[in-house]
Amino acid sequence: MVLREKVYQVIKERIVNGQYRPGQPLNEKEIIEELQVSRTPFREAINALNEENLVQIFANRGIFVREITAKDLANSFEIRFLLEPYVTRVACLHMPDAVIRNLVERCQNCLAAGYRDML
């Protein structure tokens, strides 16, 4: 795994599971030392997280976990409701039946296991 991807996955996981709370500043030096990476992969990962609106970068202030508003959630769900049925239909037309059955089974397992596994 590329270092940038490792840093990205660790920080994203911590945001998703609540270890890094909304509005919390991220300590660049601390994370770099903990993950034993240089500043470049850290910055690349932060830029990717910023593109996904998971963090906000403020010049001369730092990097903060983004606070998600009700409007943000509503907008993302609206887009997903429009796109996902179409994308699913197109993907299913090109997938072997065995792959579709496997996906259905995995979805059923996630639903049975709970919210965390669905994430």
How many domains does the chain fold into?
2
What is the extent of the structural domain holding 53?
3-65
61 and 81 inside one domain: no
pLDDT tops 70 at residue 53? yes
Q: Which residue has the tokens 């270890």?
A: 19
| Residue finishing a domain among 65, 82, 105 | 65
Which strand (E) or helix (H) includes residue 62? strand 62-65
DSSP secondary structure, 10-51, as one string: HHHHHHHTTSS-TTPEE-HHHHHHHHT--HHHHHHHHHHHHH
58 and 27 inside one domain: yes
Confidence (pLDDT) at 114: 73
Q: What percent of the chain has pLDDT over 70?
A: 95
Q: Is this model's pTM higher than 0.75 or not? A: no
Rounded Cα distance between 78 and 20, Å, is 26
The whole-number average pLDDT for the span 1-10 is 91
Average pLDDT of the chain? 90
Express each pLDDT in 14-50 by its tens digit.
Answer: 998 889 999 999 999 999 999 999 999 999 999 999 9
51 and 75 inside one domain: no
